[in-house]
Amino acid sequence: MLKVIFLLFFCSFSGVNYAETLDNCLSFHVINNAPLGYENEEGEMQGVHWEYLTALEKTTSFCIRKSFLPYPRLWHSIESGNHDGGIVFKSDSRSHLVEYAVLIRKVKTVVIPANGVSIKDYNDLQNIVIGKTRGTHLSEQFDQDKNLMVIELNNYEQAVLMLKYGRIDAIAGSALVLSYQLKNHEVFDEVDIGNKWVLGEKEQWLQFSKKSKKLDKVGALKQAVEKLQLNGTFDHIMNKYYGEEWQQINK
């Protein structure tokens, strides 16, 4: 809000058209889901990707307009060119819609067992009860394995709570989302992170709509992301929301 007021004030005294000023801004989505992006109890916008983009704005001096979008809607908006892009997992089925600007982070998909549950190789997964979020794709082998005892649940929070109360032996999913839920519900002491099993890996990218008129800014954004990765800014933001354990889970 303060930025908009400042722009109106500046434009009124400089003769700059406000609509044209906003048009020069990059418009990036933030997935509307904690901890990536959400409104806190004080009405402030925050989250991992919200802060990533704020850091990018400061590093590049580009004007970046951030807006929350639910995951299904962002793809329609990207396809139609209604916004420039944002951070989202790479998807082969949607690669024709985007330009991949820069890799943000590689994220493991994992199985994390409760204390006392041993996973020495993949076959051990067939001897335990695993909770996962309904419809989540973790790896081709895992998703298609009919010998696994998998309970599909409504969300990650439910999976973590079932593990906490001993109703399942392990949880499976994104290393980052599991880290967030384990931290929120104080369940880290109930699991054996060192005994996790890695199923696969996904890539978070800063992606641009192919219809964006701001593709000339990709080079500068790539340099800025690499700088923020090297100086630890992105990891510091991750620690704030996920707890430092995410680094061990995502190894």
Residues 73 and 123 in one domain: no
Residue 249 lies in a domain: no
For residue 226, the one-letter residue type is: E
DSSP secondary structure, 95-142, as one string: GGGEEEEEEEEEEEEEEEEBTT---SSGGGGGGSEEEEETT----HHH
Residues 197 and 112 in one domain: yes
Tokens of 70: 């639910």
Residues 63 and 184 in one domain: no
Residue 71 lies in a domain: yes
Domain of residue 39, residue span: 19-105+203-244
Q: At 243, give phi and psi (nearest 5°).
A: 80, 155
CATH number for the domain harbouring residue 65: 3.40.190.10
Place of tokens 């406000």: 18
From first to last of the 251 residues of the chain, give the pLDDT tens digit.
Answer: 545 444 444 444 444 443 444 578 999 999 999 999 999 999 999 999 999 999 999 999 999 999 999 988 999 999 999 999 999 999 999 999 999 999 999 999 999 999 999 999 999 999 999 999 998 899 999 999 999 999 999 999 999 999 999 999 999 999 999 999 999 999 999 999 999 999 999 999 999 999 999 999 999 999 999 999 999 999 999 999 999 999 999 99
Tokens of 208: 């641009």
Task: Decide: helix, strand or coil at residue 69.
Answer: strand
How many domains would you assign to the chain? 2
Residues 168 and 59 in one domain: no
How far is it, in rounded angstroms, from Cα 41 to Cα 21? Answer: 31
Q: Model-level pTM?
A: 0.86
- Output the pLDDT for position 22: 54
- Output the pLDDT for position 5: 44
Residues 101 and 207 in one domain: yes
Residue 240 lies in a domain: yes
By the 8 A CB rule, do 100 and 207 touch?
A: yes
Q: Which residue, among 115, 53, 105, has the nearest Cα to 242 in the 3D structure?
A: 105
Beta strand spans in the chain (E): 26-31, 38-39, 45-46, 64-69, 85-89, 98-113, 129-133, 149-153, 170-174, 197-209
